[in-house]
Chains A and B, each alone.
Chain A
Amino acid sequence: MSQPTLATSYLKRGLSRQTWIIIGIVLVLLHLLPRAIPQIVHIVIMIYLFATMGQAWNVLGGYTGQFSFGHSLFFGLGAYVSTLLYLKLGITPWIGILISCLSGIALGLFIGALSFRYGLKGPFFALIMLAFAEIFHMITMGWNAVGGSPGLLIPLKGNAPHLMQFTSKQPFYYMALWMMVGSLYLVWRLEKTRTGLYFLSVREDHDAAEALGVDTFKVQMIAMAISAGLTAMIGTIYAQYLLFIDPDSTFGILNSVEIMVRPIIGGPGTVLGPLLGSVVLTPLAEITRLAFQSYSGVYLMWYGMILVIVIMFLPHGLMGMIRQIIDKYRKG
């Protein structure tokens, strides 16, 4: 650590010009990818969608320290709201995605107001989230007006861009890519603001943060709103991509695990962690799912194994490991 001077800002540090150029090149390459290797477009879309949801989870879990064990709640809500608006009222999913986002925020703030007012933390908050996800799971299972347990099919309209339906996967690829890039940028910027630092202070110590003038309730509500709204939007895109949703694949507990496992393995509380976790885990899940088709759920055993290994040896996730290597390289 060199002697600090006032000339440089350590809290507001930006990226060097070279880094921006590299980011630009990577973005261009990612735009060309679907044309170059069309076979992997599906997997890459899933990587992006889960990276974005992981990032949403990360804002609440990684930065603010409130581990949600039921983020499928917002995902499912987003998927159902836009789909029902389209099926029942004929509202295009382009508007539906915004209403999904708003309803995700509203539900998030409701749960937040219930839990954060009483200072719920750790396992208690995780269980509240799990309970709400299960409530919605049960409601959608039992209520035929919203599809019941068979779920909802979105009728095929061929290539209908105004209804967010496309015959090719490419438009979804670009949507997912830009949602992912947008969420990355949002969190990267947020890290360098007062709110971002307040998130971290709440994660580290509620009481100390309060004593320093941080409105911990408000800060947690903001994190919740960002997290819930973003996750709900991904829910809508997912529904339009698959054109089919059912309670298990949206509100199910496994989906909550899918959302949280990526940022945890990638490195919670880091900007790149969720993306890194998604890049590693999503292909692994898809490949093991294909390889062991007759044994459904084998990929979950992989998750379990990887999670155990990561928690034992890499408590700060893959990003923590990368940082250690960089530090060593710099010193050595």
Chain B
Amino acid sequence: MNHAAANAVGNKSEITDSEFVRFRDFFYRKTGIRFDDNKRYFVDKRLLDRMEKTNHESFRSYFTELRFQASGEELQQLINAMTVNETYFFREEYQLECMVESVLDEIVRLKGKNKTIRIWSIPSSTGEEPYSIALYLLEKWPMIDEVDVEIISSDIDTKVLERCRQGIYNERSVHNLPKDLLNRYFKPTSGGKFYQINQDLRESIDFTKVNLADPVQTRPYRDFDLIFCRNLLIYFDDASRRQAADVFFDALNPGGYIFLGHSESMSRISSLYKVRKFPKAISYQKPFV
């Protein structure tokens, strides 16, 4: 039976099963995001919305623009619509668990306890990720008492960097944090509607501005043992994604690791990295030679 989505924007068009499959395969090839049939309504709704905004009355003509537009602008708009751009403490927590249960121990074995471990979190966005890394290290990694760790967190946007330094978050941002961590590391502000992370933590992370596309800016970022770059590359075009993968490769020490977002795969971007499967998550490793 032909499943045609109810048109959310005025019955001008609909997406047929075959068109859905055609779009799904294309979108997967471009982004690594695959939509199962149970996401049909979600996908159709956004496709129809973009079709209306770009004045296309049929899927066919919209898809032609999407597929052949040299600037890739519409594809970018659609990616924005199809992805959830949100950040909160302990998001994709399984990777943080992997960090403290597998990756860091391996790095210490490699470097020795007397060497500082360097972690780069990019993009910092408003700071939830780098502070989550810091909290996880303090709370869940026993070796934090024996090893020095530096966390550097970067973003292209100076406004969000300022928010990182202030470390003030709303309830939605901290909803995933265990209560005892919230009580111990945060202080309620603005009548309890917001929470500010404590000064020690705010001062433990270095927030820097960097544009990944600028080789002069990225050049000094070196000697990292672990990089978190989650849900950023999805917004880049193919060439920029390859360029970013190269920047990370040069920023990592041999044997260093990078975590990407759950829908991203380094294997689809660069052949320079080795896939490492740990019990809790997959990471990508820069080879030793």
Q: Do A and B bind each other?
A: no
Question: Residues of A with Cβ closer than 8 Å to B?
Answer: none
